[in-house]
Amino acid sequence: MRELVETALRWTAEGRTGFLARPVTEQGFGPRDPAGAVLIDAHGQCVGALYNGVFDAELAADAAALPAGRTARVCEVSVAGAEAVQARLTCGGSAEILLQPLSSVPAEWWELLGQGAGVALVTRLNEAADRAVSEVVRAVDPPGHDAARRAGELLAARRPGRDALYSESGLVLVEAYPSAPFLVIGGNGELADVITAQASLLGWGAASVDSAAAAGKLLADHRDAACLVMLSHDPAVDVPTLREALALGIPYVGALGSRRTTARRREGLAAAGVGEARLALVHGPIGLDLGARTPAETALAICAEILGVLGGREARALRDSDGPLRG
Write out the chain's pLDDT in tens, 327 residues: 989 999 999 999 999 999 999 999 999 998 888 889 999 999 999 999 999 999 999 999 999 998 888 888 999 999 999 999 999 999 999 999 999 999 999 999 999 999 888 899 999 988 666 888 999 988 766 667 788 889 988 887 777 889 999 877 788 999 999 888 999 999 999 999 999 999 999 989 999 999 999 999 999 999 878 999 999 999 999 999 999 999 999 999 999 999 999 999 999 999 999 999 999 999 999 999 998 999 999 999 999 999 999 888 777 664 565 655 454
Residue 321 lies in a domain: no
What's CA 221's distance to the chain center, in Å?
Answer: 19
In sequence order, what are the residues at sequence separation of 6 or more whose Cβ sits closer than 8 angstroms to the Cβ of residue 313?
Answer: 327
CA angle 290, 325, 317 (to 5 degrees): 25
Could you tell me if 173 and 190 lie in one domain? Answer: no
pLDDT given for residue 318 in this prediction: 47
| 3-state SS, residue 252 | coil
Could you tell me if 10 and 146 lie in one domain? Answer: yes
pLDDT given for residue 313 in this prediction: 79
Could you tell me if 266 and 159 lie in one domain? Answer: no
User: What crossing angle do the helices spanning 235-248 and 212-221 adopt, rounded to 10°?
Assistant: 20
Dihedrals phi, psi of 189, to nearest 5 degrees: 120, -170
Could you tell me if 196 and 101 lie in one domain? Answer: no
Last residue of a domain, one of 177, 211, 237: 177
Q: Which residues span the domain enclosing 288?
A: 182-310
- CA 80 – CA 86 distance, rounded (Å): 10
User: What crossing angle do the helices spanning 295-310 and 190-201 adopt, rounded to 10°?
Assistant: 50
Residue 149 lies in a domain: yes
Residue 231 identity: L
Evaluate whether 254 touches 278 at the Cβ level (below 8 Å): no
Q: Within the chain, how many helices (H) and strands (E) appear? A: 11, 14
Report the Cα–Cα distance between both ends of the chain, in Å, rounded: 18
Could you tell me if 102 and 245 lie in one domain? Answer: no
Last residue of a domain, one of 152, 177, 202: 177
Burial 276-287 (b: 16+ CB within 10 A, else e): eebeebbbbebb
Could you tell me if 10 and 88 lie in one domain? Answer: yes
Sheet with strand 226-230: strands edge to edge: 205-209, 182-186, 226-230, 253-255, 282-283
Structure letter (DSSP) for residue 285: S
Alpha helices in the chain (DSSP H): 5-14, 56-64, 81-86, 107-114, 146-156, 190-201, 212-221, 235-248, 259-271, 276-279, 295-310
Could you tell me if 137 and 49 lie in one domain? Answer: yes
Could you tell me if 38 and 173 lie in one domain? Answer: yes
Could you tell me if 128 and 241 lie in one domain? Answer: no
Could you tell me if 18 and 162 lie in one domain? Answer: yes
Residue 190 lies in a domain: yes
